[in-house]
Structures are given as C-alpha cells and as structure tokens.
Amino acid sequence: AQSVAQPEDQVNVAEGNPLTVKCTYSVSGNPYLFWYVQYPNRGLQFLLKYITGDNLVKGSYGFEAEFNKSQTSFHLKKPSALVSDSALYFCAVRILDTGRRALTFGSGTRLQVQP
Amino acid sequence: EAQVTQNPRYLITVTGKKLTVTCSQNMNHEYMSWYRQDPGLGLRQIYYSMNVEVTDKGDVPEGYKVSRKEKRNFPLILESPSPNQTSLYFCASSVRLITDTQYFGPGTRLTVL
C-alpha cells in the first residue's frame, strides 16, 4: 500500500533562514508527489507537484522541492523563510501504476517562522 | 471567482440525525472528492467522483454516502452520524485527473454529540 510520512510534527525556523519540511514515501510504483499548504481556518492550497522530468520542482511563494528516488523523499524547501509562511504543510502521493484514483496525505507538519 | 463552496461551515448535531453537507464548484471540474481531517492523521479521502454518476470509495468510506447527479455538485451524506464522525471535512475538485491541481473548499467543522 502506498504511504507518505512527514516525520516532524513541527518545524521552527527564524525569519530569513532557509527552511526544510521533510516528506518520505513508500510505494511500489512510480509516484506523483504533491505539497499543499493550509493557512488557519482555510482550505488547502496547492504549492507544487512532481510528475516526471526534472527532479527539482519550483512552486508557488518561492517554495521548491526535490524528488529523490533513491531516498524516496520529496522535501519542501525555501531559501529564506517569511513569517507569513507559518502554516500547516501536507505532502501527498498518488501511485501511477494502480487503478486507484486517490491521493494519500501525510499527517502534516506545522511550520512556525519566528520574526 | 473560481471557487469550491461548502455548506454549512459549522454544524453541531446529535447521534443518528441524518445530515447532508453540500459541495459545489463553478470551474466545470470533472473530478471531485471529500476528505476528513483529524489531528495527527492528516487528510483521509472518503469518496471521490470522476464525473457525473461515477463515484468510488476512498480510504474511509464507512458511514458516508455521496451522489453526483450534476457536474458541479457533490454532496456528502451521513445517514446516521456517530461521534467518531466528528471532524473537519473538505471538498475538493480538479479539472479531470487526480494529478491535476486540487482546489479545496473552506471546510465544514462537524460535531456529533
């Protein structure tokens, strides 16, 4: 069965510092990988996705993520954090090689950026 | 404005009283789905629909029903709610495929007493 793990419940970083939010996945086929962000009292918003091609994916608000097949990871990164980046971040995966048309989400990582 | 709307946004009910949470999108999307969000568990998919009259179970379908009679609407029905269905519910839609960007509604916070 496909699964995705976000090993950190919370990440704290100072404004201006680089940030990383970790995601690892477990699949038996080729994955589609996504990052979504949830601001307080809001629905999720799409940040970026990896389908195929270049392993480094650039997304909204200056975020990027690198697909690493050997480490089965898809960590979210940003060179310089902003206080406004503070939110709940979700990694999600869909496996291409199954007929199941569903996304599996991680448990979420709360990012806190201190001024 | 392109959006996914859900109603109601907040609902407190009692065990066994049937309820419906509506979801509507104005983007002509084919794919729609329902998720529930619980602390520490992330989002879990309840049901999804590839198009009108085509629905399928997600990871946690027990106790829920859906219908897709029109492209824009995808209501979630709880025939006999129980306290373990207390959760935050999100509806989402995408153009056609699960790999397309999903657009989420604002959420419905349901409490079953």
- Of residues B96 and B63, the one with the higher pLDDT is B63
Non-local (6+) Cβ contacts of B111 within 8 A are B11, B12, B13, B86
Chain B: give the shortest CA distance to residue A46, in Å.
6
Mean pLDDT of A86-115: 84
**pLDDT at position A98 over 60:** no
Looking at residue A100, its pLDDT comes to 61
Number of H helices, E strands in chain A: 0, 12
Non-local (6+) Cβ contacts of B94 within 8 A are B29, B30, B31, B100, B101, B102, B103
Mean pLDDT of A101-113: 89
* Closest listed residue to residue A25, CA positions, set A75, A77, A65, A63: A75
Instruction: Name the closest residue on chain B to residue A107, using Cα atoms.
Output: B42
User: How close are the terminal C-alpha atoms of chain B, in Å?
Assistant: 36
- Tell me the C-alpha distance between B20 and B25, whole Å: 16
User: Hey, what are B54's tokens?
Assistant: 């085509």
Residue written as token pair 């709307």: B5
- Of residues B12 and A3, the one with the higher pLDDT is B12
What percent of chain A lies above the pLDDT cut of 70?
93
Contact indicator for B6, B21 with CB cutoff of 8 Å: yes
- Cβ–Cβ gap A43/B107 under 8 Å: yes
Average pLDDT, chain A: 90
Contact indicator for A34, A95 with CB cutoff of 8 Å: no
- Cβ–Cβ gap A51/B99 under 8 Å: yes
